[in-house]
Amino acid sequence: MSEPIRYRSGFMAIVGRPNVGKSTLMNNVLGTKLAIVTPKPQTTRNKITGIATYDDCQVVFLDTPGIHEARGSLNRVMVDVAYSSLDGADAVCFMVDVSQEIKRGEASRLNLEILRRVQETGLPVILAVNKIDNVRKDKLLPLIASYAEAFPFAAIVPMAAIHGDGVPLFLEETKRLMPEGEKYYKEGELTDRSRDFIITEFVREQVFLMTRQEIPYSVAVSIDLVEEREANDALLHVVASIHVERKSQKGMLIGKHGSLIKEIGSRSRTEMEKYLKSRVYLELHVRIEKEWTRSLRGMKKVGFEI
Ligand SMILES: Nc1nc2c(ncn2[C@@H]2O[C@H](COP(=O)(O)OP(=O)(O)O)[C@@H](O)[C@H]2O)c(=O)[nH]1
Ligand SMILES: [Mg+2]
């Protein structure tokens, strides 16, 4: 008789430079938009768990902020969050954006530094070579060879996470690296982040998409009230605050006759309704919290949860 197949479960941290596609990969694996995605770097500020449960395995993905040369308190905290996700992980996905790397012709210094830190943990590492839809195949192979030489990866998976190309292979390799063990979370659980946290992220996503220059990086969103109201339909009443650092930013965020804030509200409400599968009534307020990104105290004041 053959051995019974034992259940596997574990934590997989996804790390890499900003904007390489970490959140996109996690969302694709989960089949749900859990982590916000924008074309701007440093969209993700917190560690976000995404739980994928299968018949034979449960993988708890940890999406993390991009690792960069951080200036300012908020940025330093974000980089610390990314590295701290390695503690307690069973495996690591190190992601690179192949189009960035090819432009340079070699692995960037920062990527090698990240790899060095990852190597110190002794964990198995999958190299996710993302955005292959942007490059010619003949350019891809030498880059993969140079990475393979630099580090003993458990697997190298070329992918286009945005289209799901390479994602099944990535998942297969990830499952293989998970240790035997029972589920950490009940079937059907998607994240250990609170509903309120996810709601604030959808607002922040629209701020990232609809504003420019320093504004996205000066914004934090917190919840003032979430209340279920049973009228005819189930309706969630949400009141949230968008914190900015300066008065001029408040004006820009509100826009002419309130046009921009209205649009941000309506788009983020649509995302909330998709995620929550419920109707949402959203009220947004813009508040000034002077230079909140510069200190831990400021971050606390705007409800920044690590
Ligand atoms: N062309 C292309 N773009 C991608 C791919 N994956 C992600 N992106 C885009 O890259 C940007 C950053 O993605 P995001 O997931 O937020 O990156 P993160 O900062 O590493 O979490 C977004 O505009 C994504 O749509 C991909 O496979 N191909
Ligand atoms: Mg991200």
Please indicate, yes or no, whether residues 129 and 224 belong to a single structural domain of this protein. Answer: no
Q: Whose C-alpha lies nearest to ligand 1, atom 26? A: 131
Domain assignment of residue 183, yes or no: no
β-bridge mates for residue 57, sequence order: 8
Domain assignment of residue 184, yes or no: no
The rounded distance, in Å, linking the Cα atoms of 254 and 107 is 42
* Domain boundary, last residue among 149, 177, 205: 177
Domain assignment of residue 1, yes or no: no
Instruction: Give the distance (Å) from ligand 2 centre to CA of residue 5.
Output: 34
Ligand 1 atom with the smallest distance to the CA of 24 is 15
Ligand 1 atom with the smallest distance to the CA of 159 is 27
HSE at residue 55, side-chain half, CA atoms within 13 A, is 1
Say what the pLDDT of residue 1 is. Answer: 62
Domains in the chain, number: 2
Considering only the C-alpha atoms of the chain, give the largest distance between any 2 of them, rounded to a whole number of Å: 74
In this structure, the chain runs to a length of: 306
pLDDT for 55-93, tens place per residue?
Answer: 999 999 999 999 998 888 999 999 999 999 999 999 999
* Domain boundary, last residue among 177, 206, 224: 177
Please indicate, yes or no, whether residues 164 and 238 belong to a single structural domain of this protein. Answer: no
Say what the pLDDT of residue 5 is. Answer: 80
Range of the domain at 133: 8-177
Say what the pLDDT of residue 189 is. Answer: 96
Say what the pLDDT of residue 304 is. Answer: 86
| pTM, rounded to two decimals | 0.94
Does residue 48 have its Cβ closer than 6 Å to ligand 1?
no
Nearest ligand, CA 97 = 1
Mean pLDDT by 10 residues, the chain (306 residues): 84 96 98 95 94 97 94 91 95 94 76 92 97 92 90 97 98 98 96 96 97 94 91 83 97 96 98 94 97 93 84
Ligand 1 atom with the smallest distance to the CA of 36 is 16
Contact 209, 264 (CB under 8 A): no
pLDDT for 194-221, tens place per residue?
Answer: 999 999 999 999 999 999 889 999 999 9
Please indicate, yes or no, whether residues 139 and 204 belong to a single structural domain of this protein. Answer: no
Say what the pLDDT of residue 100 is. Answer: 86
Domain assignment of residue 182, yes or no: no
